A = this chain, B = another copy of it.
Amino acid sequence: MTTIHELGTPSALIDTQRMERNIRRMQDRMRALGVRFRPHAKTTKCLPVVQAQIAAGAQGITVSTLKEAEQFFEAGIQDILYAVGIVPGKLVQALALRQRGCHLTIITDSVAAAREIGRFGVAHGAVFDVWIEIDTDGHRSGIKPEEDALLQVAEVLQDAGMVVGGVLTHAGSSYDHDDPQALRAISEQERAGAVRAAQRLREAGFACPVVSIGSTPTALAAEHLEGVTEVRAGVYVFFDLVMRNVGVCSMDDIALSVLTTVIGHQEEKGWAIVDAGWMAMSRDRGTQKQRQDFGFGQACSEDGAVLEGYTLSGANQEHGILSRAGGPDGRIAERFPIGARLRILPNHACATGAQHPEYHAIAADGRAEAWPRFYGW
């Protein structure tokens, strides 16, 4: 049996109690709002986490790469939404998954791509289930709910014999806010835009059974989800400092941290040097423009107690600089001697997880279990 105290550093830790609580919170909320929940597996790329999400009631998963689809399908998950606009070059891989029995849904937001999907489908005798991506906040991809292109894409797909299975949107701009009222407004804008797009498709004769929305902040801020059939969210399973600043979780909900060891000091500067640099934390500085900047992460004791004011103020590849906000700590070397172990809460759980080949799931009694994650494309 391995315990947290025997792990090498740096290591990525999952507080499984917090993770389970986060999963329950989201699933209970979705149940109360009357919608299905389809977690985004891109945050963790880790089977035991996704299995916990499904055990709690999730129906199907969302992925950001076809590699994720392949890995999770091989592990027995059948209902998979690949939520990045498909390009012609990836249709061979998508078809192979469908031919193996995976219920893979693909998405598009352009007539050009829809034509390619149709052409490829016809050429290979394949019927793809395609959802149309809707843009409700100008954040990234998608067709606006009132644009002509919406119906054109649906027609191109239908004419080629593809299934227009639904619409989906992602209000990524919700990450830029920290006011509950603003979050409720973006959530309502996301809901209303997706529902309106579905309504236009239905008026034009398309069944459009699915209306899929989501992001962690909007999922947690929504007052009602009338007309929506499913919600997607990813980072809620671990939460992170960005989400804490957005206001949808507290520091005590953050389930991911990086275990690190103090390797040196620059006492006159009030620095402790730790072995978690940006390779372990990622280069994500997502809190830089938020109401509280945590540098490269918030320091906690090895058992997880937040060390108020101590953050990773700098990071090189394998060196982190731990210092006190608001003035150097003249007793830093005494407080954190060489060999002392700390946990660092990350800015962005998706980015930090991606730096590690495995998580170490820490149970309530301190037992550590290795949970592998995969990466690449």
Contact = CB atoms under 8 A, between A and B. Distances in A.
A11 B377 contact: yes
A56 B296 CA distance: 37
B377 A112 contact: no
Interface stretch (A123-131, A191-199, A278-286): A278-286
Interface in A77-132: 84-90, 93, 108-110, 112-113, 116
A84 B338 contact: no
Contacts of A224: none
Interface stretch (A28-36, A225-233, A312-320): A312-320
Given A11-B377, A116-B339, A357-B376, A263 B84 contact: yes
A65 interface: yes
A337 interface: yes
Contacts of A338: 87-88, 110, 112-113, 116
A8 B354 CA distance: 20
Contacts of A337: 112
The interface size bin for chain A is 35 or more
A316 B172 contact: yes
A59 to B, nearest CB: 22
A321 interface: yes
Interface string A261-281: 111111001000101001110
A10 B88 CA distance: 14
Interface string A2-36: 00000011110000000000000000000000000
A93 B9 CA distance: 12
A154 B285 CA distance: 39
A46 to B, nearest CB: 14
B356 A263 contact: no
A73 interface: no
Contact of A319 (B8, B9, B84): B84
B351 A376 contact: no
Given A85-B273, A339-B89, A376-B357, A264 B316 contact: no
Contact of A9 (B89, B116, B339, B357): B89
A87 B339 contact: yes
A104 to B, nearest CB: 16
Contact of A318 (B42, B263, B278, B280): B42
A158 interface: no
Nearest to A133: B264
A189 interface: no
Contacts of A348: 283
A318 B65 contact: yes
8 contacts: A64-B317, A85-B263, A110-B338, A112-B337, A138-B269, A278-B351, A283-B283, A285-B285
